[in-house]
Chain A
Amino acid sequence: KAGVTQTPRYLIKTRGQQVTLSCSPISGHRSVSWYQQTPGQGLQFLFEYFSETQRNKGNFPGRFSGRQFSNSRSEMNVSTLELGDSALYLCASSLALGKEGYTFGSGTRLTVV
């Protein structure tokens, strides 16, 4: 059974640009969450989607947005990139919202220069 797939694995962007990251969940999983991970800050929750609807949102500015498609694949977009957006962005999928454990992808390493 294929795991959570994130593309691309690595990305270098310039300040002010925008970026779109992609996540394909495990087949049958309908919930997709996104996290930002930076050294010393742990995993910071961005948002969670279920059945194409955003169900939870973290404390990030409006430059961070996401969406989920009918096949449960999800994308997140960051506009007007800042140096501080450099991080590992992780996607996780689960069968449903709530108590289930989440399965993570390997992440996209974004570097903003």
Chain B
Amino acid sequence: GQQLNQSPQSMFIQEGEDVSMNCTSSSIFNTWLWYKQEPGEGPVLLIALYKAGELTSNGRLTAQFGITRKDSFLNISASIPSDVGIYFCAGFNAGNNRKLIWGLGTSLAVNP
């Protein structure tokens, strides 16, 4: 089935650094969602984006809905150890609004 291209696949950073990850698609999306999954738990919704160009923050996290509607970005500022986990992007594309498409995730490790 269709999947989103999410990069990077993994990141290992120092505490205090900023983090950027992105998600791209070959087709137009009308909703982008960013989730975080910690070990042994299900993904938790961080940010939802519904309009092209939309920029939304949730604490130290900021996500943007790309203006082409084919990409989205997630930034984490001043990372801390509890940011460790797998970050997934997901979205509904304009052609099939009812089936959520997922990226393979970005695994983030933070060195204290």
Binding site for B on A (CB under 8 A): 4, 33, 40-45, 48, 55-56, 58-59, 90, 92, 97-99, 101-107
Contacts and interface: CB of A to CB of B under 8 A. Distances in A.
Contacts of A59: 1
Nearest to A42: B104
A19 to B, nearest CB: 19
A58 B44 CA distance: 22
16 contacts: A42-B88, A45-B102, A56-B99, A92-B42, A97-B98, A98-B92, A98-B97, A98-B98, A99-B31, A99-B50, A99-B92, A101-B45, A101-B48, A104-B43, A107-B41, A107-B42
> Which 4 pairs from chain A and chain B are nearest by CB?
A104-B42, A42-B104, A101-B45, A43-B102
Q: What is the interface of chain B mostly: helix, strand, loop, or mixed? A: strand
A99 B40 contact: no
B91 to A, nearest CB: 10
A45 B42 contact: no
B36 to A, nearest CB: 11
Nearest to A9: B40
Size band of the interface chain B makes with A: 20 to 34
Interface string B75-112: 00000000000001000100001111011110000000
Contacts of A103: 45
Interface in B14-68: 30-31, 33, 35, 40-45, 48, 50
A106 B40 contact: yes
A102 B88 CA distance: 13
Contacts of B92: 98-99
B2 to A, nearest CB: 10
Contacts of A40: 104
Nearest to B31: A99
B20 to A, nearest CB: 20
A106 B43 CA distance: 8
B1 A45 contact: yes
